[in-house]
Structure 1
Amino acid sequence: MQKTIQIEIDGSTLKIDIHRWARQSNGSALLTYKDNMVLVTANMREEAKAAQDFLPLMVDFRENTYSAGKIPGGFFKREGKPSEKEVLLSRLIDRPIRPLFADNYNHDTQVIAMLLSADFSIDYDSMGIIGASAALISSTIPFSTPLGAVKIGWKNNEYFINPGQDVLKELEMVLQVAGTEQEVVMLEAAGNEFSDEIFMEGLRRAKEVIAKICQAQKELLNPDKMVVASKPEAAALVDDLRDKFSAQIRDAIFTQDRVLRRLKIKAIQEEIMQGKEEEEIVRIKGAFEKVEAQIFRQTLLQGKKRTDNRAFDEIRAISIELGILPRVHGSAVFTRGETQSLSTVTLGSEDDAQRLDNLNGDETKKKFLLHYNFPPFSVGEVSFLRGAGRREIGHGNLAEKSLSKVIPDSENFPYTIRVVSDILESNGSSSMATVCGATLALMNAGVPIKAPVAGIAMGLVKEGDQFAVLTDIAGYEDHFGDMDFKVAGTEKGITAIQLDIKIKGLTDEIIRRAIEDARKAYLFILAKMKSVIAVPSEKLSEYAPVILTMMIPVDKIRDLIGPGGKNIKELVATYSVKINAEDDGKVSIAAANRELGEKVIARIEAMTGSPEVNKIYNGKINRIEDYGLFVEIMPGVTGLLHVSEISNQRIRDVRQEYKLGQMIEVKVLALDRDNKMKLSHKVLENQPRDGEN
């Protein structure tokens, strides 16, 4: 059934066409927003896999290069594996829609969003979420709650709705929100130390737009939704296990050591499953986890007790080690409870910056990189080591956003900075441990960050109107709780937020409470960090490259580079340095030490400078005549050293005394209007060489 709705958003129209294209999909939505066009499809397998008790949801977002009138780079000239941005946009859709499917629904489900036309004057990130909601609502898939999304920007007390890419670069806060008509389901924010009030006002404005989008989608609801059968036998099994084993399960849950807790739970499960058939074992495992969740949640809400006996606002023990890797430019180990991050900093030159071939045609360089790794041993498991997965990309991106606004600009610190966080232990919020560890490693490396940043993860357990907000959630609380709310910031304000939930939505009261408690927590952690290292180290590591910068006239860049890159290659080979020349005449030299870098600067000045009167140059004879020598004092700059200015002694034959290619010191005595030089060597025979170049 084809249908079209239109929604006015801040002076622009969002048009949604249902089942106009991709009509064999269970649900499809074509969204048009200015010149942006996104097609989103939703499909499910007709039969669920036997004994499958979870939702296998696959979400993919593809930014087709043709949408921006571009041809893919590389040898194959076609789209390959998803880019990092596509992975992040896929996660952006997955996170808000996942909690809104019907209970007990476990069919394989796939949502695919394709960018067909890209208009960079207005943001299209939210279109994937809205399109997924429209496609799912109009399908027979059991998804019935309309979902809206919007991006809000803030700068100079002004808020912007779905700002374009030219505006995004200048904003002090960017807030992405997804929600139902009444409540928030997902949000993330990043910015330059913004306040709670700025954030909450942005959230209020976002909810107004989202409510309008949700209301408009109600008429798209498919009346022939798949009915998900209840499972009374599963409920009965849960009741039976709780009656018989609740005391043992409670004892295991409240065991402090994570490994011992896991062993106790495994022993209880083995006792229950002994002698059972494989199909029954699968049902028992599902029921057992429900009993675990019930006991954990009941004890926390009614008994006011966490599994590790902490207060609701208490942070686990923190320990910090600095500079533990002697050959690394900067390093730190940050441990909070049973979560541990080894963070390292590597400093590089301009050549080490990541080149981004953006869809909008801008080829930019990224000089601050943060990579997050989650090896299997961090949770005592065994699996293959592969490339970064979606989770690792997402966690690394969050930590990078948390720190990006405090990283010094290239004018003050001309290095490419790469931070790597290897999670050595994980029991809750390794991404926020990464923020803390990365800050410490940057300060240890001597990177002059504007302010230290710390992060914390907040949790929630909610039953009806009763709820508890938890500070510094451990893995068990994350698994059986309802919320993972990560907040990072400095003493001045917030730098990043990310919220994911498992329930249908959050009220403003819970969000405000979580942010207030989070601020107290990350300020406490900042104080711990500053007690170990209060300011960045004054000196860089002896193993870090020294980067010196200089400016040369733009018209002299070609002299530095030389024909076919001859001159710059010769410098690089001779001094073992890296040299980068920008179009504006800025030259960066990355050398092993300052002395070497200054030698290169002297060579470059000689190659690209202009001759100066009374300055001494060490030049090369490139032509000999009876009346004198032609001396090249810098590349392409040659002057006549007349025979009368060669020496105080009489020279019988210039050709007998001097050879081509011989080096000779000369002083510039005069320059005429045509830059012709008068050179002299004899004036240097009996005077000091203070002005030598």
Structure 2
Amino acid sequence: MIGKTFTTMLGGRELTLETGKLAKLVSGSVTLRYGDTLLLVTAQAREDLSTLDFLPLTVEFEERHYAVGRIPGSFPRREGRPGEKAILSARITDRQIRPLFPKGYRQETQVIITVLSADGQNLPDVLGPIGASAALSISDIPWAGPTACVRVGYIGGEYVVNPTVEQMEHSDFDLVVAGTRESILMVEAGAKGASEDLLVGAIEFAHAQMQPIIDLILEMKAAVGHEKFTFIQTADLSIDLVPELTTAARAAGLKDALLTPGKKDRGARIKALRDGLIAERVDAGAEDHAAQVTRYKNDFYKVEKAELRRLILEEDLRADGRNTRTVRPIWIEAKPLPRAHGSAIFTRGETQVLGVATLGTERDAVLIDDLTAEKEDKFMLHYNFPPYSTGEVKRVGGQSRREIGHGNLAKRAIRAVLPSFEAFPYTIRLVGEVLESNGSSSMATVCAGTLALMDAGVPISAPVAGVAMGLVMEEGRYRILTDILGSEDALGDMDFKVCGTAEGVTALQMDIKIGGITPAIMREALSQARDARLHILGKMAEVLSAPRAQLSATAPRILSLKINPELIGKVIGPGGKQIRELEAMGASVNIDEDGTVRIFSADGAAGEAVRTRIEALTRSAVLGEEFEGTVVKTTPFGAFINLFAGQDGMLHISQMSEERIQAVEDAMNVGDKLRVKIAGIDDRGKIDLVRPELEGKIAPREPRAPREGGDRGRPPRR
């Protein structure tokens, strides 16, 4: 039999790993099946050493439309660049496996996840990391796994592992957790204001559910795994100058340089100190001068990193002089942009974001075309990170994966407090323009975006703030850092972003650079983050404590009304003629199948005029209602009176006068206006009228009986 199969149970469903059947030329190849969702995951490394000074790992998540029986909607009818969902799925896998590659490993490595079948209920985003863990484990690539990844929902007061898409519609949060046998590596969540204790409990539950998966991969590795190849550690290429440089740098004032206020000034002092030490030790005329300088720079960075970590652990001192629990100074400005619907600047230390809110119609919603059903999203958040924000010069192109990931985190944080579309029928676009960045720009985007929404008058349920937490851990000692700097992100062991309202968490994301952390440390970090979040929310409330009472004056207006669904065709008109005439009046019109009509206009008067016209087009006659009507046609037996647009009624000759008349024209002519009242509506919708001033003075006419073939005397409907 071709291939070897390994099976376990997860969430009441069978999880199957198979190898040796597909893609056999690659170092590690695994197919994973869960329900009718099937993935092929491969892992391969180059033999030669990369010249890059970081781990050259790439993870690709390839969605194939044949997996759901669809032809791609693109012009060439084939898959193009990865969509946002695929990029986010690739990042989940990358963040799980990256910390477990050996220190100094620099051989280009690629993991490719291909979705071969998707059943629409078992999402592939959390299955890809399991397949990657299995493929790396059985390959010859050095990697300290296995790991596992699961999704947890909270439904009916109970934690549920890997809930289906249908079950997730009833969940209080969407939590994805990855970890090893001993600890947690990665967490990502969107929630509806969940408590910190509830989330920590879910993470502990997730870790327990991972264990059978890890057992399965270990079984697979023992049966078919390859011996890991030996790689050259980059650290071996350089002379270890750290002890000597540490002594010399401390003597030259490294501590004072590291504690210099301001990112630019601090960087300049550290560079001057470093270059001075190198100049003393490297002969400018040496043949290998450039190579020696590079070695010294690499080892000086190790000295700098070690000294910063020592200051944090031993002296509770950070690079900008704060202690581990202090948030950087905050200043905020609301409505800096005069024409935007809503805008705000949020600055925390040397991180600054301009948040801008724009309101549009449902026609502005973005179409999502991934392996789930095609749908529209009426809330967008776009995060822009230009090179000037860090004082650098780089090529400006499309959105990077990092920008997509940071934007998605901010979007999940804010989505939890948005009003429903029924209550606030606008498509909302938020943009976070990062103007300065020295750590935690995604969390500043959450704060700036929330303020921009409130400035626009969007009725959010509560303000949301975010803060990034860090960790320094060595030999059993650790300190959790509040509101980390960019340098602390680089030198630290954790990047833990937490967003929420005053009541609870709406989103979080955690990445670990070491072997993992315990739930106890996570609980402490969440508690410290809550204190920081409340502090930031207090600063935001000093500028805007709630959404503005009125919608922004520059924002368009949306009027709504409900019509009989059977009359939708009347509003649209033959070939869309009627609706084009309505939109020519200065408004756009959207009509739902249930008869809900939304009128969108920049000019309030134009919107009201369109609404009046639609009301007239779809008005229905009501028994007993009176009108000032116009005679539009006379016949020997009566006159037809126009009551409102598209609706006539018939006034019989016997109801026109107290005296008997021989012809209708003795009482009225076409064009005359007179007061009439609806006296009857038959089963075909035909209307009999009377003159209200003659009621009681003349005998009422008997209601018309339904007649086969219709009433030939009545003109066609207008």
Q: What is the TM-score of this pair, normalised by structure 2?
A: 0.89
**Alpha-carbon shift at residue 639 of structure 1 (Å):** 3.2
Q: Following the alignment from structure 1 to structure 2, what is the Cα–Cα distance between the partners of residues 64 and 370?
A: 26
Gaps of 5+ in 1: 685-693
Gaps of 5+ in 2: 695-718
Taking structure 1 as reference, are residues 647 and 385 closer, same or farther at Cα in structure 2, changes over 3 Å only? farther
**Alpha-carbon shift at residue 3 of structure 1 (Å):** 3.8
The equivalent position to 1:612 in structure 2, one of 619, 622, 634, is 622
3-state DSSP of counterpart to 2:332: strand
**Alpha-carbon shift at residue 257 of structure 1 (Å):** 1.3
Taking structure 1 as reference, are residues 140 and 558 closer, same or farther at Cα in structure 2, changes over 3 Å only? same
Q: Following the alignment from structure 1 to structure 2, what is the Cα–Cα distance between the partners of residues 664 and 354?
A: 51
**Alpha-carbon shift at residue 86 of structure 1 (Å):** 0.3
- Residue 124 of structure 1 corresponds to 124
CA contact (8 A) 2:677 2:691 kept: no
3-state DSSP of counterpart to 1:190: strand
Matches within 5 A, 1:174-253: 174-221=174-221, 222-230=225-233, 231-232=235-236, 234=238, 236-246=240-250, 247-253=252-258
Matched, 1:671 2:652: no
Which one-letter code corresponds to 1:442 in the other structure?
L
- Residue 449 of structure 1 corresponds to 460
Which one-letter code corresponds to 1:526 in the other structure?
L
Q: Deviations over 1:420-453 (max 9, x none)?
A: 1101111110111111111111111111111111
Q: Deviations over 1:544-563 (max 9, x none)?
A: 11111111111111111111
Which one-letter code corresponds to 2:248 in the other structure?
K
- Residue 435 of structure 2 corresponds to 424
Q: Following the alignment from structure 1 to structure 2, what is the Cα–Cα distance between the partners of residues 106 and 189?
A: 31
- Residue 27 of structure 1 corresponds to 28
- Residue 259 of structure 1 corresponds to 264
Q: Deviations over 1:161-183 (max 9, x none)?
A: 11111111221011100000010
Which one-letter code corresponds to 1:320 in the other structure?
I
Taking structure 1 as reference, are residues 26 and 411 closer, same or farther at Cα in structure 2, changes over 3 Å only? same
Q: Deviations over 1:575-601 (max 9, x none)?
A: x11111111111111122444323222
Which one-letter code corresponds to 1:639 in the other structure?
G
Matches within 5 A, 1:145-164: 145-164=145-164
Taking structure 1 as reference, are residues 186 and 647 closer, same or farther at Cα in structure 2, changes over 3 Å only? farther
Matches within 5 A, 1:476-495: 476-495=487-506
**Alpha-carbon shift at residue 2 of structure 1 (Å):** 5.2
**Alpha-carbon shift at residue 501 of structure 1 (Å):** 1.5
Q: Following the alignment from structure 2 to structure 1, what is the Cα–Cα distance between the partners of residues 329 and 473?
A: 26
Matches within 5 A, 1:345-424: 345-361=357-373, 363-424=374-435
CA contact (8 A) 1:319 1:335 kept: yes
**Alpha-carbon shift at residue 15 of structure 1 (Å):** 1.0
Taking structure 1 as reference, are residues 403 and 653 closer, same or farther at Cα in structure 2, changes over 3 Å only? same
Matches within 5 A, 1:30-49: 30-49=31-50
- Residue 610 of structure 2 corresponds to 600
The equivalent position to 1:502 in structure 2, one of 498, 513, 516, is 513
Taking structure 1 as reference, are residues 486 and 646 closer, same or farther at Cα in structure 2, changes over 3 Å only? farther
Q: Deviations over 1:452-484 (max 9, x none)?
A: 111111000111211110001011111111111
Aligned residues: 678
- Residue 690 of structure 1 corresponds to none
Matched, 1:585 2:595: yes
- Residue 283 of structure 1 corresponds to 295
**Alpha-carbon shift at residue 335 of structure 1 (Å):** 0.7
Q: Following the alignment from structure 2 to structure 1, what is the Cα–Cα distance between the partners of residues 267 and 62?
A: 40
Q: Following the alignment from structure 2 to structure 1, what is the Cα–Cα distance between the partners of residues 201 and 137?
A: 30
**Alpha-carbon shift at residue 189 of structure 1 (Å):** 1.2
3-state DSSP of counterpart to 1:307: coil
Q: Following the alignment from structure 2 to structure 1, what is the Cα–Cα distance between the partners of residues 676 and 133?
A: 78
Taking structure 1 as reference, are residues 23 and 223 closer, same or farther at Cα in structure 2, changes over 3 Å only? closer
Q: Following the alignment from structure 2 to structure 1, what is the Cα–Cα distance between the partners of residues 677 and 63?
A: 61
Which one-letter code corresponds to 1:212 in the other structure?
P
How much identity, in percent, do the aligned residues show?
A: 43
CA contact (8 A) 2:653 2:664 kept: no
- Residue 638 of structure 1 corresponds to 648
Q: Following the alignment from structure 1 to structure 2, what is the Cα–Cα distance between the partners of residues 621 and 169?
A: 57
- Residue 325 of structure 1 corresponds to 337
CA contact (8 A) 1:53 1:106 kept: yes
Q: Following the alignment from structure 2 to structure 1, what is the Cα–Cα distance between the partners of residues 476 and 241?
A: 27
**Alpha-carbon shift at residue 144 of structure 1 (Å):** 3.0
Q: Deviations over 1:7-63 (max 9, x none)?
A: 22122121111232111111111101121111111111110134x321111111122
Q: Following the alignment from structure 1 to structure 2, what is the Cα–Cα distance between the partners of residues 621 and 75?
A: 57
The equivalent position to 2:347 in structure 1, one of 329, 335, 340, is 335
Q: Following the alignment from structure 1 to structure 2, what is the Cα–Cα distance between the partners of residues 402 and 579?
A: 32
- Residue 704 of structure 2 corresponds to none
Q: Following the alignment from structure 1 to structure 2, what is the Cα–Cα distance between the partners of residues 602 and 81?
A: 46
CA contact (8 A) 2:88 2:405 kept: yes
Q: Deviations over 1:625-654 (max 9, x none)?
A: 577664555565333466898999999997
Which one-letter code corresponds to 1:252 in the other structure?
A
Taking structure 1 as reference, are residues 578 and 245 closer, same or farther at Cα in structure 2, changes over 3 Å only? same
CA contact (8 A) 2:638 2:664 kept: no
**Which is further off, 363-372 or 1-10?**
1-10
Taking structure 1 as reference, are residues 259 and 616 closer, same or farther at Cα in structure 2, changes over 3 Å only? farther
Matches within 5 A, 1:25-104: 25-50=26-51, 52-104=52-104
Q: What is the TM-score of this pair, normalised by structure 1?
A: 0.92
3-state DSSP of counterpart to 1:451: coil
Q: Deviations over 1:506-537 (max 9, x none)?
A: 11121111001001110111111112222211
Taking structure 1 as reference, are residues 42 and 642 closer, same or farther at Cα in structure 2, changes over 3 Å only? same
Matched, 1:514 2:525: yes
- Residue 305 of structure 2 corresponds to 293
Matches within 5 A, 1:537-548: 537-548=548-559
Matched, 1:471 2:471: no
Taking structure 1 as reference, are residues 386 and 646 closer, same or farther at Cα in structure 2, changes over 3 Å only? farther
Which one-letter code corresponds to 2:587 in the other structure?
V
CA contact (8 A) 2:60 2:90 kept: yes
Q: Deviations over 1:140-162 (max 9, x none)?
A: 11113201010000033111111
CA contact (8 A) 1:146 1:214 kept: yes
Taking structure 1 as reference, are residues 397 and 665 closer, same or farther at Cα in structure 2, changes over 3 Å only? farther
Taking structure 1 as reference, are residues 75 and 620 closer, same or farther at Cα in structure 2, changes over 3 Å only? farther
Matched, 1:459 2:462: no
Which one-letter code corresponds to 1:305 in the other structure?
L
CA contact (8 A) 1:123 1:164 kept: yes
3-state DSSP of counterpart to 1:310: coil
**Alpha-carbon shift at residue 393 of structure 1 (Å):** 0.7
Q: Following the alignment from structure 2 to structure 1, what is the Cα–Cα distance between the partners of residues 303 and 42?
A: 36
Which one-letter code corresponds to 1:46 in the other structure?
E
**Alpha-carbon shift at residue 262 of structure 1 (Å):** 2.1
Q: Following the alignment from structure 2 to structure 1, what is the Cα–Cα distance between the partners of residues 486 and 691?
A: 79
CA contact (8 A) 1:189 1:498 kept: yes
Q: Following the alignment from structure 1 to structure 2, what is the Cα–Cα distance between the partners of residues 318 and 469?
A: 21
CA contact (8 A) 1:444 1:537 kept: yes
Matches within 5 A, 1:496-575: 496-574=507-585
Q: Following the alignment from structure 1 to structure 2, what is the Cα–Cα distance between the partners of residues 316 and 401?
A: 24
**Alpha-carbon shift at residue 211 of structure 1 (Å):** 2.0
3-state DSSP of counterpart to 1:134: helix
3-state DSSP of counterpart to 1:532: coil
Q: Following the alignment from structure 2 to structure 1, what is the Cα–Cα distance between the partners of residues 612 and 134?
A: 65
Which one-letter code corresponds to 1:307 in the other structure?
A
**Alpha-carbon shift at residue 365 of structure 1 (Å):** 2.2
Which one-letter code corresponds to 1:201 in the other structure?
G
Which one-letter code corresponds to 2:483 in the other structure?
D
**Alpha-carbon shift at residue 233 of structure 1 (Å):** 5.3
